Structure 1
Amino acid sequence: MGLQRREFLTLAGAGAVSTVVLSACGKLGGGTKVKGPTIGMLQMVEAPPPTNTRKGFEAALAEAGYIPGKNVNFIQKDAAGELPNTTLVMKQFVGDQVDMILAVGTPPLQAAMKVAPATTPVLFCYCSNPWGAGAGTPPGAVGQHKPNVVGTIGTNPVGKELDLARQINPELKTVGLIFNPGEPNSEYEAKVLKEEASKRNITVVEQSVANSGEVLQAAQVLADKKVEAFVKIGDYATIQGFGSIAKVGLEKKIPVYSVDADDIKLPGCLATIGWAYFDDGYAAGKLAVRVLKGESPAKMAFEPLTKTELMVNKATAAAIGVTLPEELIKEAQKVVS
């Protein structure tokens, strides 16, 4: 697997890390390895947003004729939500001599930039901060990024999230934000959110967490501080612990907004606005196809996402005593009753 014995033994004693080591050895998406390129695919957690993004990537490759088990090999893994695992898995990919790496998220991309040789193409998606991951400098045009890396930029539309909250409550002055500052994606999006909030004269009340197990208590603390809404950014701790935020919002009758479409299903989530994750992965897959057919990533630009999806939950609105504007309901791509 390309790991030194000491490193392997150290990591094997680290709980979640050992699970990744043992489960990651040689798993192919199509079963037995076939003749064709091998793509190592890593996401931070197994959750709907990154998983749907990866499925979009796979769909774009299938549309171009790259079928697992027939003419392409997928090695698909997740890091179990642990940052050290991203580096470990990337080292495994290098040891397996994969022909391409797909980094689904900022932490996997950061690990790829540290570990992957310059000769291995790295594609990324579901990524809010490729700059912080070391992939290049904004906006990622030709010549502004490492020559072996290209992908889609998915910094969440947190300004639109605040506008959505203000549309429902024109008097909105404070929002509560829970995030893990140890994640490069979260730290970046928290900064963007605060900048956007300042433009709108909205105060962001922060509560930091180290993992998803701390999210419930953080939400309760913010509720006690009388925040007028909860907002979510691209953060793995709150992806896993979002149910706790929705629960507190429902109990305390505080509107909860998210950038992840799948959250709209949870009682307590009032509305979401964010990227279509399948489309994100699909766009990255189209870039990958170009690379697989011989085009150099060095001659390609990073592609920012532009299309957002709006969803609202009428049942949550009724439960917390909020009236959704009719124009907002008509604009929504999905309405949960």
Structure 2
Amino acid sequence: MGLQRREFLSLVGVGALGTLVLSACGKLGGGTRVKGPTIGLLQMVDAPPPNNTRKGFEAALAAAGYIPGKTVNLIQKDAAGELANTTLVMKQFVGDGVDMILAVGTPPLQAAMKVAPETTPVIFCYCSNPWGAGAGTPPGGVGQHRPNVVGTIGTNPVGKELDLARQIDPKLSRVGLIFNPGEPNSEYEAKVLRAEAAKRDITVVEQSVANSGEVLQAAQVLAQKQVDAFVKIGDYATIQGFGSIAKVGLEKKIPVYSVDADDIKLPGCLATVGWSYFDDGVAAGKLAVRVLKGESPATMAFEPLTKTEMLLNRATAAAIGVTLPEELLKQAKEVVG
């Protein structure tokens, strides 16, 4: 590793538990390095949305002939939810001399901007706010971003989430939002949600948290404030603590909406609308393949995601006394329960 011992110990002191998890989560495809490029992959947490995004990336590589352990080396790590760990891992990647970095999420991309040299290509995905990470300026066309950086833009479709909630409940006027303002991606999406809610004359009642352990209490507080629904944005605290929101929603008969498809499996989650994370990863993987084959990221544009998928939970609807409109049932990609 390229870290000095004192700097490493300092970072361990910031987030010792997270660093221990990191050592367990780092994986090199095939165990030993093979002839071929080495790519360092970092995501913020081990959870279905970023995991599915990473799997899509790996699938795109494989389709182009870059097979882990055979023709490409993949070093996979997650930051265990600790922002300090993203910097630590990026320094490890640089010290290991990786040929490319995949940043799955805004915080990993932010760390890559701080640490990676301009000679190392950085591909990003599962990212709502590349601008906040310092990757470039909107919309990220050629000449509008760092020359070594390219990726997909996945700001969650929170406007569609609000439209879905109102289609189910035309009288909806107050939604509850739980998020961690300390996360750059969360703060950005909360701002987008407020703007979209204002367009629809919907009030956003907010409850901030510092970590997933505070989500249950925050949901209980919002329930007492008589919100008409809970809505979720791209936020790591609520990705990990979403079960608590769904539980409160079920107990208090408050509809819960999410932008993460896997949440539909939880009792209490009424509906989801969002991107296909696997497809997000595939799109990023195709960008990576172009770079691996010699194309410069400087000649490529950021790619915004455009296709959304809606899922509904019939069992949750029955449990909280909500009738799902027939039109929505026909439009849904999947109806569970």
Q: TM-score, normalised by structure 1?
A: 0.98
Query: Are the equivalent residues in 1 in contact too, given 2:22–2:77 (CA < 8 A)?
Result: no
Between the aligned partners of 2:286 and 2:19, the Cα distance in structure 1 is 34
Contact 1:41–1:77, Cα closer than 8 Å, also in 2: yes
1:275 and 2:275 aligned? yes
Residues 60-92 of structure 1 show CA distances to partners (whole Å, capped at 9, x for unaligned) of 000000001111000000000011000000000
Structure 2 counterparts to residues 150-169 of structure 1, below 5 A: 150-169=150-169
Range with greater deviation from structure 2 (27-36 or 141-150): 27-36
Deviations 1:6-53 (A, max 9, x none): 11122334322331453366x302221101000000000000000000
Q: What are the ranges of 5 or more consecutive residues in structure 1 without an aligned counterpart?
A: none
Counterpart position of 1:243: 243
Alpha-carbon distance in 2 for matches of 1:242, 1:253: 16
Report the residue type matching 2:198 in the other structure: S
Partner in structure 1 of residue 111 of structure 2:
111
Matches within 5 A, 1:200-279: 200-279=200-279
Ranges of 4+ aligned residues in structure 1 off by more than 4 Å: none
Separation (CA, whole Å) in 1 of partners of 2:290 and 2:311 = 33
Q: Distance in 2 between matches of 1:200 and 1:317?
A: 24
- Structure 2 equivalent of residue 92 of structure 1: 92
Contact 1:60 1:282 in 2 (8 A): yes
Whole-angstrom CA distance in 2 between matches of 1:319 and 1:69 = 48
Deviations 1:180-234 (A, max 9, x none): 0000000000000000000000000000000000000000000000000000000
Contact 2:271 2:311 in 1 (8 A): yes
Match of 1:304 in 2: 304
2:59 corresponding residue in structure 1: 59
Verify the 8 A CA contact 2:135 2:149 in the aligned structure 1.
yes
Residues 238-283 of structure 1, C-alpha deviations (whole Å, 9 max, x = no match): 0000000000000000000000000000000000000000000000
Q: Secondary structure at the match of 1:46?
A: coil
Distance 2:332 2:216 in 1: 29
SS in 2 for 1:318: helix
Aligned to 2:28, the other structure's residue is in SS state coil
State the alpha-carbon separation in 2 of the partners of residues 231 and 36 from structure 1: 44
Give the corresponding residue for 2:292. 292
Taking the aligned partners of 2:148 and 2:255, their CA distance within structure 1 comes to: 43
Task: Kindly tell me the number of residue pairs found equivalent between the two proteins.
Answer: 336
Between the aligned partners of 1:251 and 1:21, the Cα distance in structure 2 is 36
Give % identity: 85
Distance 2:155 2:100 in 1: 23
Alignment map for 1:119-134 (pairs within 5 Å): 119-134=119-134
The answer to whether the Cα contact below 8 Å between 1:270 and 1:317 also exists between their aligned partners in 2 is yes
Give me the TM-score of the superposition, normalised by structure 2: 0.98
Q: Please list the CA deviations of residues 116-160 of structure 1 after superposition, one character each: whole Å capped at 9, or x if unmatched.
A: 000000000000000000000000000000000000000000000
Shift in Å, 1:296: 0.1
Match for 1:227: what amino acid? V
- Aligned twin of 1:187: 187
> 1:219 & 1:92 partners in 2: Cα distance?
38
Once residues 106 and 334 of structure 1 are traced to their aligned partners in structure 2, the CA distance between those partners, rounded to angstroms, is 29
Separation of aligned partners in 2, 1:170 and 1:199: 15
Q: Is the 8 A contact 1:49 1:262 kept in 2?
A: yes
User: What does residue 318 of structure 2 align with?
Assistant: 318
Q: CA deviation at 1:4?
A: 1.3
> Contact 1:11–1:17 at 8 Å: present in 2 too?
no
1:146 aligns with 2:146: yes
Contact 2:22–2:78 (CA under 8 A) maintained in structure 1 = no
Instruction: Report the counterpart of residue 16 of structure 2 in structure 1.
Output: 15
Letter in 2 for 1:157: P
What is the aligned partner in structure 2 of residue 33 from structure 1? Answer: 33
